[in-house]
Structure 1
Amino acid sequence: MDLFMEMLKTDSTSSRERGFSEFLKKRLPDGRCTVESFEVGDGTENLLFSWGKPEIFFCTHLDTVPPYFPPVHSGGVMRGRGACDAKGQIFSMYNACLALADEGQEGFALLLLAGEETGSFGAKNFRTVHPGGKYVIVGEPTDNCMVSASKGTKSYRVTIKGKSSHSGYPEYGLSAVELFVDFVNRLRLADLPSDPELGKTTYNIGMLESANPQNVLSESLSFRLYFRTTFASDGVVQSLMERLGDNSYIEIEPFGGDTPSRYVTLDGFDTKTVAFGSDAPQLTNFENRILCGPGSILAAHTLSEYVLMEDIEKATDNYVKMFRILKTGKRS
């Protein structure tokens, strides 16, 4: 509990996680593991704690979303930034590693990655500098369920060009705001296929900017458009964006994303699908990927983020069980 509280007292919001990783390098080694650091290139680092030569990796991320707020523990509930995304995963995975080491087990590691919340930069870097292994168990808030599949993502920056004029004489201009409304209406009418496994494709608009005063028609408006895609729609979204941008006043710039993914599940564990992203799709240097961890995604990224300590304990037990199953090779 003291370690978990110390972890939560350290601000590791994205781009500031270096102090947290330096703390963990000193605090986590138990005399039985080796520690490696991998520079990501942006001032952050990935950490790898290994017990023997690992084939099974427990993995989660170092950074959290802003804003930071300090931890409070009461009544079996731990509140604070990172409680369930993803310092609760670090804590439960580390405890699982200690339990396995106490049993005399080896061949496992704890991999902690930077920059998950801002584009999985740590995971993308790690796959280029490390061969990976047979299994990676990625910790995210999944209510301790094993995830069978997750939605993909596609991100775009959209710029709409209008023509400014005095708002009293709109006939002499072309409002980028009105063109934006037309764009959104066309987007809402788009017939994206539903997926029997992952459900509907959804989207969100953010970072909306138009600098015009209230009495001047907008000359330019920009925003980010972020899709959550399914197996049925992932290949369709790009063609949709090409149709929506097929005119002289709309510019569309793709910003990447992940494809929908399927993961390994094991008998004896609850399973479900999820709509959120993680480092897992980027860890292509591993043969098999598992996604599972304590906490609820509905609490993550909120100002009331929390995790139940009983869920942390269950996650630790789950990770130990997963290791034993994978070590014997008897997955079903």
Structure 2
Amino acid sequence: MQDLSASLLKQVVLKLLDCYTPSHKEENAKETVEGIAKALGLKLTQTSSHSYYFGEPSSDIAFVSHIDTVEGFIPVTEERGWIYGRGAVDAKGPLTSMLVAASILSKEGIPVCVFALSCEEEDSEGAQELLQSLKLKYAIVGEPTGVDRVVIEYRGSAKIVLTLKGKKEHAASASENLLLNAAQGILNLPPSSYELSLTPVSLECETAWNVTPSEIKIRIGARFSKNYTGDFVKQVLDAFNAPEKRVTVLEKTQPVFVEPTSIVPRTLVRVIQQLGKKPAFAKKHGTSDMNLLAPICTSIAAYGPGDPRLAHTDEERVSVEELLFATKVYAAFAKSLVKPL
């Protein structure tokens, strides 16, 4: 395949990983992506959300990934074919393969656009911006799925703030303790399943040594499948005992499911098989920009190199072999759907 080499992929991914871009700091990547775009011969557009578009946004083929990562820089290292760094898995590895594939395709007269969106790990500002400006035809979301898996389902999500209020008392003689009630309530939450998981992520209250708290805020991440028909707000409230309790849902994203027979997942599976692996459809426990973008796409699925179990961990790593294979998949996918200009 023209210009496809391990050396090129390593150069691109190492540059991206060296540039630390946690959510809302995507502007840090400006000089880096300008250099990458120039080296790969791709037109670059920077948007107001600090997303980066490589190629023509109106192209029928859209490779959609994200430039931001979770917090926590990991020193970039290379060892025995593995590349370590924050975002190696989620999602600068997939983004690297998409960029190199787009460069190859552009030289063969096949137009594609790579969307490196901002804030995917937070409020999906880049995807929200894209929703307001474009319709996409055939889209692959560059997330770590493993090179033989095509994801057609993500769970929905909600950010919940539970506020508990009670009586402030002297710690030495308190008749009730709101903090103990909160702890018991956390234990009372329903056990996690694919259908619904309610995960406490933080608790805030007063910190005096001699006074019990009168107000506690608990942040809970909710994930729910397309088959969930319950009321997770009620389930949260029912788990906690307090004189006063209130739930605020800050953000809610609906689940997404794409039929396996839809053109993007179907084509990806065929291409992976042609390249010598045994593909399978998969569903993810998390949420991605695919949830938001599906309504503006004719067809969509997620695919990318990297072990999804390593996402957001301090062990993020991707192999050059995975990057090579995914690049071949992206390029073959586009060639099978779009005729050269």
Q: Tell me the TM-score normalized by structure 2.
A: 0.84
Residue in structure 2 matched with residue 71 of structure 1 by the alignment: 76
Q: Which residue of 75, 85, 88 corresponds with 1:83?
A: 88
Q: Which runs of 5+ in 2 are unaligned?
A: 1-9, 271-278
Q: Secondary structure at the match of 1:164?
A: coil
Residue in structure 2 matched with residue 310 of structure 1 by the alignment: 321
The alpha carbon displacement at 1:28 in A equals 1.0
Conserved? CA contact 1:234–1:260, under 8 Å: no
Question: Aligned AA for 2:119?
Answer: G
Q: Which residue of 276, 285, 301 corresponds with 2:312?
A: 301
Q: Which residue of 256, 269, 274 corresponds with 2:251?
A: 256
- What does residue range 21-40 of structure 1 map to in structure 2 within 5 Å? 21-29=30-38, 33-40=42-49
Question: Aligned AA for 1:179?
Answer: N
Question: Aligned AA for 1:113?
Answer: L
Q: Which residue of 124, 128, 134 corresponds with 2:128?
A: 124
Residue in structure 2 matched with residue 325 of structure 1 by the alignment: 336
- What does residue range 210-225 of structure 1 map to in structure 2 within 5 Å? 210-225=205-220
Question: Aligned AA for 1:121?
Answer: E
Conserved? CA contact 1:151–1:229, under 8 Å: yes
The alpha carbon displacement at 1:132 in A equals 2.3
Question: Aligned AA for 2:154?
Answer: S
Residue in structure 1 matched with residue 28 of structure 2 by the alignment: 19
Work out the CA distance in 2 between the residues paired with 1:142 and 1:223: 31
1:161 and 2:157 correspond: no
Q: Secondary structure at the match of 2:153?
A: strand
Question: Aligned AA for 1:109?
Answer: C
Q: Secondary structure at the match of 1:216?
A: coil
- What does residue range 90-109 of structure 1 map to in structure 2 within 5 Å? 90-106=95-111, 108-109=112-113
The alpha carbon displacement at 1:186 in A equals 4.0
1:6 and 2:15 correspond: yes
Question: Aligned AA for 1:225?
Answer: I
Conserved? CA contact 2:226–2:257, under 8 Å: no
Work out the CA distance in 2 between the residues paired with 1:22 and 1:281: 30
Conserved? CA contact 1:85–1:141, under 8 Å: yes
**Structure 1 residues 254, 313: CA separation in 2 closer, same or farther (over 3 Å shift)?**
same
Work out the CA distance in 2 between the residues paired with 1:214 and 1:142: 47
Question: Aligned AA for 1:94?
Answer: L
Q: Which runs of 5+ in 1 are unaligned?
A: none
1:271 and 2:281 correspond: yes
Q: Tell me the TM-score normalized by structure 1.
A: 0.86
State the identity as a percent.
24
Residue in structure 2 matched with residue 114 of structure 1 by the alignment: 118
Conserved? CA contact 2:186–2:239, under 8 Å: no
Conserved? CA contact 1:38–1:126, under 8 Å: no
* RMSD (CA atoms): 2.3
**Structure 1 residues 307, 31: CA separation in 2 closer, same or farther (over 3 Å shift)?**
closer
Work out the CA distance in 2 between the residues paired with 1:319 and 1:103: 14
Conserved? CA contact 1:32–1:51, under 8 Å: no
Question: Aligned AA for 1:68?
Answer: F
Conserved? CA contact 2:88–2:317, under 8 Å: yes
Aligned length: 313
Farther-moved stretch of structure 1 (259-268 vs 217-226): 259-268
Question: Aligned AA for 1:313?
Answer: L
1:56 and 2:66 correspond: no
The alpha carbon displacement at 1:151 in A equals 1.2
